[in-house]
Amino acid sequence: MDINLSIVLAGTINFFIFFFILRKFVFKPTMEMIESRKQEVESSFAKAKFEENRVESLKIEQEEKVKRYKEEGQKLIETYKVKAERVYDEMIEEAKKEADIVRARAKQDIEREKRKAESEIKSQVIDLSLVLAEKALEKKIDEDEHKRLIDEFISKVGN
């Protein structure tokens, strides 16, 4: 068996030409496509990681806002509670003042009615005593005697 050098050389040259063609038109585009896809995947992972970090920071920020709003709400509740208590105290104080005024007026009215009643009673007692005195004496008394009897009776009733 004889090895033909021209066939071996032609086979080797054909192999290198085929390898070069495969490399140029198949391997290189395939490798570029694989590299491109690899970069896309890495870019997607980086983008996903960035978005994950951004979402996490937004979540933390939102939690801080919620916490701050709760604190502000609690402060507002306390503020309005204090204001409500102050208004309640003022209303109670105002009601007490009005009650004192009503009591004072009632006391004045009672005192005035008492004096009026005493005056009316004195007047009726005087009239009654005059009638009784006239009947007792069975005569009409003159005006001076009438005044004297009234003064005497008033001094007795006054004591």
Does residue 2 carry a pLDDT above 70? no
Lowest-pLDDT range of 13-22, 79-88, 140-149: 140-149
Is the distance from CB of 133 to CB of 149 less than 8 angstroms? yes
Residue 159 pLDDT? 59
Write down the pTM of the prediction. Answer: 0.42
Lowest-pLDDT range of 19-23, 48-52, 71-75, 92-96: 19-23
Instruction: State how far the Cα of 123 lies from the Cα of 111, in Å rounded to an integer.
Output: 18
Of residues 115, 140, 137, 132, the one with CA closest to residue 153: 132
Q: Which residues of 93-111 are buried (b: 16+ CB within 10 A; e: fewer)?
A: eeeeeeeeeeeeeeeeeee
Residue 27's pLDDT band, with cuts at 50, 70 and 90, is confident
| CB half-sphere exposure, 60, CA atoms < 13 A | 5
Mean pLDDT over each residue of the chain, to the nearest integer? 87
Q: How many helices (H) and strands (E) does the chain have?
A: 3, 0
Residue 110 pLDDT? 94
